[in-house]
Amino acid sequence: MTGVLTGFAVLGVIIGVGWLLAHLRVLDEASQQMLAKLAFYVASPALMITVLGEADVNKLFSTNLIASVSGVAVTAVVHVLLARIVFHRTPADTVIGTFCSSYVNAGNLGLPIAVYVIGDAAAIAPMLIVQLMLLQPAGLTMLDVIESRGRGEMSRASLVRTMITRPFSNPMLIGSAIGVLLAVTGWHLPEVVYAPLELIAGIAVPGMLIAYGVALRLGPLPGRGEPPAYLGVIAVLKLIIQPAAAWVVGAHLVGLTGTDLLGVMIIAALPTAQNVFTFALRYRTGVTLARDAIFVNTLGSVAVIIGLVALMT
């Protein structure tokens, strides 16, 4: 428990540095965007190459992946049913709500938590694979289809092209794919390539956390735009049902134990990713929902993760 609290304290201090720099106007929204872009387009892909390239390939495609997929699938399906049948949300809002209830903050918080709390950066890899290769492409493709159909622009050929090409435009996916390829083949990058990548990868975690702190200071705070009942359902799905589903599958169906089981549950209990707010802005749907869900789930996840560690250790 002490190690977990220390890990969160380390993360909190770095986030606090970002918040303070924004408060003092040393960093502004442009700086936050620069840090986020540097982490997303350069440092995080480098980190994925170095981490996954050295990872045990059996761990990448093992029972951890099955448990992660199961947690995402359960929450996504339950949310879609509730959103459409009970809350009568539009198809586009339903997609954003599904992201809010199942898309974890594997980048900004997942990587540093994997490093400082679980003690293994590669522990986040199965969830990254699920999100980057399955959940994100599927959700964004659906939003593209909904948007284009609304304008009467989407032909069958365009739909197929979008579904095929979108996953390969994500730098995190590209970095993950290269890392997985290295792990599967057993290849090792020459030192002249690996050493610079390792240095650049070191920017990822502090850069993301500082950018997150800036966003907390400068970004919008939750308002009263969404029904509390709906927001509460999303919070329960994200923070309770997803880790519970991962536990059921991990412990009782695929035999995970110890640190592996705890790691899968902690990662499933991570809050909604900030990417979801970006998706909502891009497609102009569910913006208030994404904003509020990220805020509520980020606050709630700290207590949930500490509780999981207390129960499992």
Interval 213-263: pLDDT, tens: 887 788 666 656 678 899 999 999 999 999 999 999 999 998 888 888 888
- In this prediction, residue 162 has a pLDDT band, given cuts at 50, 70 and 90, of low
Place of tokens 């991990």: 250
pTM: 0.74
- Nearest in space to 226 (alpha carbons), one of 275, 278, 285: 285
In three-state secondary structure terms, 61 is: coil
Residues contacting residue 125 through CB under 8 Å, at least 6 positions apart: 48, 51, 52, 55, 59, 60, 176
- Nearest in space to 252 (alpha carbons), one of 244, 52, 102: 244
User: Side chain identity at 49, as an amino acid letter?
Assistant: I
Q: Which two tokens stand for residue 17?
A: 């540095």
Range of weakest confidence among 60-74, 141-155, 164-178, 293-307: 141-155
Q: Report pLDDT digits (tens) over 81-95.
A: 999 999 999 999 999
Range of weakest confidence among 65-69, 146-150, 221-225: 221-225
Q: Which fold has domain 2-312?
A: Na+/H+ antiporter like fold (1.20.1530)
Q: Which two tokens stand for residue 62?
A: 């093992």
Residues contacting residue 84 through CB under 8 Å, at least 6 positions apart: 94
Q: What is the mean pLDDT of the chain?
A: 83
**Can you tell me the distance from the alpha carbon of 60 to that of 62, in angstroms, rounded to the nearest whole number?**
6
Contact of 65 with 126, CB cutoff 8 Å: yes
Q: Report pLDDT digits (tens) over 191-216.
A: 999 999 999 999 988 888 888 788 77
- Nearest in space to 214 (alpha carbons), one of 37, 55, 69, 27: 27
The confidence score (pLDDT) of residue 233 equals 96
- In this prediction, residue 106 has a pLDDT band, given cuts at 50, 70 and 90, of confident
Contact of 252 with 111, CB cutoff 8 Å: no
Q: Which of 40-44, 150-154, 244-248 has the highest mean pLDDT?
A: 244-248
Task: Considering only residues 114 and 264, tell me which one the structure prediction assigns the higher pLDDT.
Answer: 264
* Burial zone of 12 (CB within 10 Å; 0-12 exposed, 13-18 middle, 19+ buried): middle
Contact of 102 with 39, CB cutoff 8 Å: no
Residues contacting residue 112 through CB under 8 Å, at least 6 positions apart: 10, 11, 14, 205, 208, 209
